Amino acid sequence: MKKLIFDPIRKKRVVLTPEEGVRQWLIKELTESKGYPSHLMSCEFSLTINSVKYRADLVLYGKNMQPLLLAECKAPNIKITQKSFDQILRYNLALKVKYLIVTNGYKTFLAQVATETGEYTFLTEIPHYNELSK
């Protein structure tokens, strides 16, 4: 029997896969420690790039309801590589967010993106929501 976990964003029980466990950990971290409003989050956000459909793990919106942060969650046993960054950068071609997170629960990388140039700078800590949404 598959183990289920309640997802507060989708408001339903979902299968607890290793990747889902990391997503739920990140959601809890963002909402409880960093003040991110759960009602401004979307799980498995559908997007289309060059007629190909993708699903972003977690999208967070700013107060203006524009996508602000995009997160890609990997299972804990998956090493974060350039391929992981390439995936989230590809998704960001459609969303054009200012912040990217890639995590496997053990290692978390956060980058701030200059939307004009596409260049990104790695940050050492996830900012509080109020700092991001200024």
The domains of the chain, with CATH numbers, are: 4-132 (3.90.1570.30)
Q: What is the pLDDT of residue 131?
A: 87
pTM for the predicted model, two decimal places:
0.92
Beta bridge partners of 69: 60, 99
Higher pLDDT, 51 or 37: 37
* Nearest-angstrom CA–CA distance, 112 and 73: 17
- C-alpha count within 13 angstroms, C-beta hemisphere, residue 30: 29
**Residue 38 above 80 pLDDT?**
yes
Average pLDDT of the chain is 91
Helix (H, G, I), strand (E, B) or coil at 26: helix
Mean pLDDT across 71-93: 93
Mean pLDDT across 53-58: 90
Decide if 45 contacts 56 (C-beta within 8 A). yes
The token duo for 131 is: 């700092």
- Least confident range of 39-43, 82-86, 113-117: 113-117
Mean pLDDT across 57-84: 93
